[in-house]
Amino acid sequence: MRLGGKVAIVTGGGSGFGEGIARRFAEEGCKVVVNDINDDGGKRVVKEIKAAGGEAAYIRGDVSKDADWAAMMKFSLDTYGDLDIVINNAGTTHRNQPVLDVTEKDFDRVYAVNVKSLYHCARNVVPHFRKKGAGVFVTIASTAGVRPRPGLVWYNGSKAAAIVASRAMAVELAPDKIRVNVVNPVAGDTPLLAEFMGEDTPEMRKKFVSTIPLGRFSQPRDIANACLYLASDEADFITGACIEVDGGRCV
C-alpha cells in the first residue's frame, strides 16, 4: 500500500474534498485523523472508513485557532504514536458578490481559515517533523489563486496567499527533509459550490462548467489522487510544486 504505516491529519475531512482525501488515504493503508468543525460529518466519515476496513479517528477542531492545532497534534500522537502527513484542506469562501459587498466579518473569516490556519499548523507540526527528520504538508488551495474569477476577490486573494506561503515554506523547510506542495482544484461539486457560483441553478452550473475544457466540475477523488501522489514516497523529490487539478482551466 502506498501509505502503509503512515499517519495523516486531514482537515475539513467531514465532507467534500477532505472526505475524499481521508477515504483514499485509508484505502492505501494510512491511519487518518479526520478533523472538522462538523461533528456529524467527521464522525460519519470515520465510521465509514472503519466499516471498509481502514483506520481513522475523529477530532473536532477549528483550524484558525492555535489551541485546536495543538490538540490535533497531541491527538495524533496519543492515538497513533506519530504524524507523517498533514493535508491542509479545510477552507471557506464568501459568497460570489461584488468586492465592496463583502463584509469585514466574512473577509476575516476567509483569511483566518484559508491563510492563518497554515501559520498555526506550521507552529505546531514543524517541530515534530524536524525532530523525526521528515514530513509532508499538502495545501489544498484553488485555481482561484492562479486564475481569479470575478465576484470572489477576497477568496481569490486568500488562496493566492496560501499558495505563496506554502511554496516559501517548501524552500525554507527543505533542509529539514520536510516537503510542502500545493493542489489547486477547480470548482468542485461540493457543499461550497453554491457559494462560489452565487446561486446554484442549472444555468449557473452550465456557465461555470463552460470554463473547464474537460467539461465537468472536479470531484473529491480527483483531488484525493493528486494528494495521494504528493504524500507518498513516490514524490520524495517534489517540493514547492503546484498541481492544478482543474480539467485544463488554467491552461
Please give the model's pTM, rounded to 2 decimal places: 0.96
Q: For residue 247, is it within any domain?
A: no
In 3D space, the residue among 97, 138, 145, 144 whose CA is nearest the CA of residue 118 turns out to be 138
Write out the catalytic residue numbers: 155
C-alpha cell at 212: 473547464
**pLDDT tens-place values along the chain, 251 residues long:** 999 999 999 999 999 999 999 999 999 999 999 999 999 999 999 999 999 999 999 999 999 999 999 999 999 999 999 999 999 999 999 999 999 999 999 999 999 999 999 999 999 999 999 999 999 999 999 999 999 989 999 999 999 999 999 999 999 999 999 999 999 999 887 877 888 788 889 898 999 899 999 999 999 999 999 999 999 999 999 999 999 999 999 99
The per-residue pLDDT for 28 is: 98
The per-residue pLDDT for 58 is: 98
Residue 205: CB atoms within 10 A of its CB come to 17
Q: For residue 248, is it within any domain?
A: no
Q: For residue 203, is it within any domain?
A: yes
- The answer to whether 109 touches 210, Cβ cutoff 8 Å, is no
Q: For residue 149, is it within any domain?
A: yes
Count of the separate structural domains present in the chain:
1
Which domain covers residue 60, as residue numbers?
7-242
Q: For residue 12, is it within any domain?
A: yes
C-alpha cell at 102: 463583502
CATH code for the domain of 122:
3.40.50.720
Report d(CA 9, CA 13) in Å as an integer: 9
Q: For residue 250, is it within any domain?
A: no
Pairing outcome for strands 55-60 and 85-88: unpaired
Residue 58 DSSP SS3: strand
Find the angle CA(107)-CA(11)-CA(68) to the nearest 5 degrees: 80
